Amino acid sequence: MAKATILVADDDRVVVELLSLGLAARGFKVTVAADGMQVIMAVRRTPPEAILLDVMMPGGTGFDVVKRLRSNAATAGIPVVAMSASTDPALPQKVQDVGANAFLLKPVCLDEVAATLRRVLEKASAVGALDS
């Protein structure tokens, strides 16, 4: 089975490095983006199988990015796992309302991130199989 490509998007370089190394060690191929515009450009260039997306970034919040992805037929089906350090109890529902597939609270556990990504990838694969 080919490694799933995950686009890790966060403006904190340390977080990106830790997530990249941790996900690579757990069998994923990782690409990175530092802001919302980089996410959109990277997805247009080479769509990943899933996106791990910080909610608060420069160049477009995670909300903006998810809305743009969902409004484009070519990117609407890419699973998005949003993450944030915010303790706003309404945030998980807010990100799902705009179209994110899952939400993780930072600091994240790498095993939980990997399990969540696998879950959304499996669900997307099952939906894709039903649609074809």
Backbone angles phi, psi at 80, to 5 degrees: -125, 125
- Amino acid in the structure at residue 46: T
27: left (phi over 0), alpha (psi -120 to 50) or beta: left
Tell me, what's the pLDDT at 59?
84
Radius of gyration of the chain from its Cα atoms, rounded to whole angstroms? 13
Specify the range with the lowest mean pLDDT, choosing from 18-22, 46-50, 84-88, 124-128. 124-128
Tell me, what's the pLDDT at 121?
97
Rounded-to-integer distance, Cα 48 and Cα 125, Å: 13
Task: Decide: helix, strand or coil at residue 95.
Answer: helix
**Is the pLDDT reported for residue 129 higher than 60?**
no
Tell me, what's the pLDDT at 126?
81
Rounded to two decimals, the pTM is 0.94
Closest CA to 12 of 117, 96, 83: 83
**Is the pLDDT reported for residue 85 higher than 70?**
yes
CATH class of 5-131: alpha beta
